[in-house]
Chains A and B, each alone.
Chain A
Amino acid sequence: MIRRYLGVMAVLAALRLAGRLARAAAIVLLVVAAAPVSLVAALAVTLAWLGGWAPRRLYRAALACLPMVAVWLVAAAIAGRSVPHAAAAPYQAWLAAWHQLAAGSAALAATTIAPAAIPLGLAVAGLAWSRRIYAMETGTGGIFPTSPAAFQARQWRRQVRTARAKIAAPGSVPLLSRRGAIVAGAVIRSAGHRAADLAMIPYQRLRSHQVVIGTTGTGKTTLLLRLWAGFLARGLQLHAAGAGHRPLLVVLDCKGGADARRVADRVRRVLRDAGARYTAVWPDEASLSLWELPPADLTGTLLDMIEHGTGAAAYYADVMEAIVALAVGAPCGPPSSAADFLARLDAGWLGLAYAGPGHGAEAALLRPAARHVSDIALRFRTLFRRLGTGLDGPGGFGDADAWYCILEGTADVAVAEAQARALVDLLAQYAAHGAGADREILLAVDEFSAVSRRLPIWQLYERARSLGLAVQVSAQSWQGLAPDDDDRYRLAATADGGIWLLRTPHPDPVTAMAGNRPVLDTSRRLLGVPHWSHEGSSRVREEPVADPALIRRLEVGQAAYIYRGGVTFVQVKRLVAAPAALAEPPPAGDRALHPATAAAGDQVRPASAAWPVSPAVAPLPADAAPTGQPAMAVADVTALLDEAFGAEPG
């Protein structure tokens, strides 16, 4: 009995072994018989493995070969003068290739079979490669238990390498795609987004709110510069085509310091290459006029710029409001400058201004508040001294294509807060009532939370939304976005244009907003490395679309773009700006032309001077005719030319 059982077992084992051997032999035979296809497939899979490609790339390559196949088949049909001949062409080519190989003509054999073998090999490679990826993603592939994790890590490294090679190739990553989308860089990997080689952001997304989070030194400025340049370039394109308003970029750099000046210089050069005629750097080289606000808004802004206490101090706040309203709303018109406003903060001046008939109520209001006027004047005098001349005009947002506003949020928070308040009010006024209604405005605020005590960032956000402004908020961390979690979530949740994440230690709240995706988890029984049993179980589990661990490990210049439940990892392409061309301030005559330039005065000048100011960027007066060139006053140069070359020939 035992002998018979053992015999049956031996027969069964022998049959199993024979079956396996037969299967292996059939596979080997198939591989050898289809050697050209096998070779192409092996080569393609190796390349995909080395480059971390997605299978679609192989499928796409196979599809790209179809015209070649079609031409080949047509040629075969014409040569054979029959369609059936064309149908048999692959078989005939295969047969001929073997004969040629047997005759020692390997090159001829390869040429003969190439039209059939290449597309087929690529398609087979795509199938094999996608099968391999699927096996690794579901945990059913690999020899060792750690194989799937090692595969994923290796794939990431190779995808990064491929993306870096892509952006390093000259001209491979333009600023704008042919369809006008802004190209941020090369795609490393994506999930839930349409697969592509280049990360392209439609212009309309930059017309919506965006959030950018990344610690210092991760390439945040590089990314922002690219987005800003893309916004301006595309906006100007559309404007030139009559399909949109002229774009306006306003950047509020709320950190300040020397670093902000360096960034401003880079911004100007990059934007100039993108088509911006004039980039104003506030307050170093250009100014804005607070005094152009309507009286009611001006009163509110002036009051908001001064810090008030609470409790008993509320009384003084009321007194201040009354006095400021009287000074701004005087019968002679609103003040035109800080000096004018300060001159009005005098009990005698106000008394005279409202001495006329019909101003009884104002005069009555002034009498009890008169003794506080000098204190209020002192506070405003101090404020304006600390603010400098940046808000004292002349100039307005309409004077430039881009404004880079530097707020000293690190060095002098109180002043920066006042400046932020004033700038936002000015921009709101410009967008709502000025020529700004005809501009497509992107307001980019960096570390705004540093100066948002008097203007909560969500308020800025909501206000911008109501005015049709797109707001791009950037911060070094999730916590830097806003003072509390409610505001942070409110900002992130309303970022219709997407969220950019660079390396940051706490990406979880943002990645959670990207949502989850179902992934298959498979367990296998390990019988002993490398033997796996055929038993196991699978289950579907939810995994974050944007892996927080991956974002914590991002390198410099890499970013994750989260949009509508998908994520694209991007290797950002750095924009290389032309060398600094603006060195000297414009001549005195030119300065009179442009308020913003005039305000540059004798302040900061870039040290890397090479050539004088190019008239290309010398802006126009606001009322200059849009067509034709301004007439030039021609100075007499006869003496110098006569000195060098002699008199003009008769």
Chain B
Amino acid sequence: MDASAGTTEAFPASLTERDIAALLFVAEMYAVQIDQLAAVLGVTEARARAITLGWRRARYAESAKIGPGRPWIWLTRAGLSASGLPYRAVSPALSRLAHLRAVVSVRLALEAAPGYARAGAFWRGERRLRAAAGGRVGLREHIPDAEVHWPDGAPVSFAGECWAVEAELTRKTVARTAAIMQEILSRTGDYGCPAGQARMPGVAPRHARVVYLCSPAAGPTVARARAALGETGRRVEIRRLPPGADMAGPAGGTGGPAR
């Protein structure tokens, strides 16, 4: 993970590179559940719990069973500070747990795809986007759940593109969904850029496409919203959320490595 570069010295010697990468992953995603952390670390859930205990002892992370399913892990202020990430330390909001889990699942599924690693793509989560925007996020401005950047020169036809990723669990109205799609696809500026650059006529859009990962309930609405966009809708990709994205967690057991 590129983001871990240069941060090793901030951690005690007992932390491995894998730990650091996982801490950065957790920081970026707000919070993750233990089974998802196990997938990130590539260990069993039991081992992930032990690793989490070490983080808690170092006061880098906090964990608690705050919702249905498995315990959640998030970084404390000390953990974020040691990671060198300028985020505000907050415990995950109960109302967002389902969404957080869905987004983490999407990221795990995408990163597990061989094409993603081969291209050297990187994930820029909502938390990072909001941090970059600082206080300049408009009240009505929509920030996607993540951006995926495909580096120039990557061995894919879409090298150099930037995608927006949206995890859609609940049904909105078609009009609202279409408006969000339009907003994302017409944006030209980075998040946090001066307002005048956010949508500049004649400038290439920031997001080459937006990828919607939908629950079965939200799928039809998203599809209709895409159809409503006409030609622009060609830049909207719709897929189902990966298995295990709902709060019930993965169907499988907890014995073997998750990844």
Interface residues of A (CB under 8 A from B): 236, 240, 272-275, 277, 578, 581, 584-590, 593, 611-612, 614-616, 618-620, 624-630, 632, 634-637, 639-641, 643-649
Cα–Cα distance between A619 and B192 once the two chains are bound (Å): 19
Q: Encode B187-225 as 1/0 by CB contact (under 8 A) with A.
A: 011101110111011111110110101100001000100
User: Is B109 at the interface (CB under 8 A from chain A)?
Assistant: yes
B147: nearest chain-A partner, CB-CB: A611
* Contacting pair B109 A645 (CB below 8 A): yes
A residues near B223, Cβ cutoff 8 Å: 649
B residues near A644, Cβ cutoff 8 Å: 109-110, 112-113, 115-116, 239, 242
B residues near A636, Cβ cutoff 8 Å: 157
B residues near A625, Cβ cutoff 8 Å: 202
A residues near B149, Cβ cutoff 8 Å: 611-612
* Contacting pair A587 B152 (CB below 8 A): yes
Partner of B206, one of A236, A615, A635, A646: A615
B residues near A629, Cβ cutoff 8 Å: 186, 188, 201-205
* Contacting pair B205 A632 (CB below 8 A): yes
* Contacting pair B204 A612 (CB below 8 A): no
Smallest CB–CB gap between B162 and chain A, Å? 7
User: Is B161 at the interface (CB under 8 A from chain A)?
Assistant: yes
Smallest CB–CB gap between A299 and chain B, Å? 36
User: Is B77 at the interface (CB under 8 A from chain A)?
Assistant: no
User: Is B130 at the interface (CB under 8 A from chain A)?
Assistant: no
B residues near A639, Cβ cutoff 8 Å: 115
Smallest CB–CB gap between A605 and chain B, Å? 11
A233: nearest chain-B partner, CB-CB: B194
B118: nearest chain-A partner, CB-CB: A640
33-82 of chain B: CB within 8 A of chain A: none
20 additional contacts (CB under 8 A) given A632-B208, A635-B158, A643-B113: A240-B196, A275-B196, A275-B197, A589-B160, A590-B204, A618-B204, A626-B201, A628-B202, A629-B205, A632-B205, A634-B234, A635-B157, A640-B116, A643-B114, A643-B115, A645-B240, A645-B242, A649-B219, A649-B223, A649-B238
Smallest CB–CB gap between A589 and chain B, Å? 7
Cα–Cα distance between A625 and B192 once the two chains are bound (Å): 26
B231: nearest chain-A partner, CB-CB: A631
A638: nearest chain-B partner, CB-CB: B237
User: Is B171 at the interface (CB under 8 A from chain A)?
Assistant: no
B residues near A590, Cβ cutoff 8 Å: 160, 204
B residues near A240, Cβ cutoff 8 Å: 196
Cα–Cα distance between A393 and B11 once the two chains are bound (Å): 49
* Contacting pair B162 A641 (CB below 8 A): no
A residues near B201, Cβ cutoff 8 Å: 626-629
Most buried by A among B124, B192, B204, B241: B204
B residues near A274, Cβ cutoff 8 Å: 194
Known: A640-B113, A640-B156. A614 touches B193 (CB 8 A): yes
136-161 of chain B: CB within 8 A of chain A: 149, 151-152, 156-161
Known: A581-B190, A645-B242. A612 touches B202 (CB 8 A): no
Smallest CB–CB gap between A243 and chain B, Å? 16
User: Is B235 at the interface (CB under 8 A from chain A)?
Assistant: yes
Cα–Cα distance between A624 and B191 once the two chains are bound (Å): 24
Jot down 30 A-B pairs with beta carbons below 8 A, ordered by A: A273-B194, A275-B194, A581-B190, A584-B151, A586-B152, A587-B159, A589-B160, A590-B204, A612-B149, A612-B151, A612-B160, A615-B205, A616-B188, A616-B189, A616-B200, A618-B203, A626-B202, A627-B201, A627-B202, A628-B202, A632-B204, A632-B205, A634-B209, A640-B113, A640-B156, A641-B211, A644-B115, A645-B239, A649-B219, A649-B240
A636: nearest chain-B partner, CB-CB: B157
Smallest CB–CB gap between B215 and chain A, Å? 11
B residues near A646, Cβ cutoff 8 Å: 239-240
A-B CB proximity, top 3 nearest: A587-B160, A616-B189, A645-B239
A residues near B188, Cβ cutoff 8 Å: 615-616, 629
Partner of B162, one of A272, A275, A612, A637: A612
Smallest CB–CB gap between B187 and chain A, Å? 9
B193: nearest chain-A partner, CB-CB: A616
Most buried by A among B159, B162, B203, B209: B203
Smallest CB–CB gap between A635 and chain B, Å? 4
Cα–Cα distance between A588 and B153 once the two chains are bound (Å): 9
B110: nearest chain-A partner, CB-CB: A644
Q: Encode B221-259 as 1/0 by CB contact (under 8 A) with A.
A: 001000000000011011111100000000000000000
B residues near A585, Cβ cutoff 8 Å: 152
Most buried by B among A627, A629, A645: A645
A584: nearest chain-B partner, CB-CB: B152
* Contacting pair A637 B219 (CB below 8 A): no
Known: A615-B162, A615-B204, A649-B239. A578 touches B116 (CB 8 A): no
B residues near A273, Cβ cutoff 8 Å: 194
* Contacting pair A586 B203 (CB below 8 A): no
Most buried by B among A615, A624, A646: A615
* Contacting pair A634 B208 (CB below 8 A): yes
B109: nearest chain-A partner, CB-CB: A644
Smallest CB–CB gap between B85 and chain A, Å? 13
Cα–Cα distance between A614 and B186 once the two chains are bound (Å): 14
Cα–Cα distance between A426 and B158 once the two chains are bound (Å): 38
B residues near A612, Cβ cutoff 8 Å: 149, 151-152, 160, 162
A residues near B162, Cβ cutoff 8 Å: 612, 615
A residues near B242, Cβ cutoff 8 Å: 644-645
* Contacting pair A620 B205 (CB below 8 A): no
B158: nearest chain-A partner, CB-CB: A635
* Contacting pair A624 B202 (CB below 8 A): yes
* Contacting pair B239 A277 (CB below 8 A): no
A residues near B157, Cβ cutoff 8 Å: 635-636
Cα–Cα distance between A615 and B150 once the two chains are bound (Å): 13
A residues near B200, Cβ cutoff 8 Å: 277, 616
B residues near A641, Cβ cutoff 8 Å: 211, 237, 239
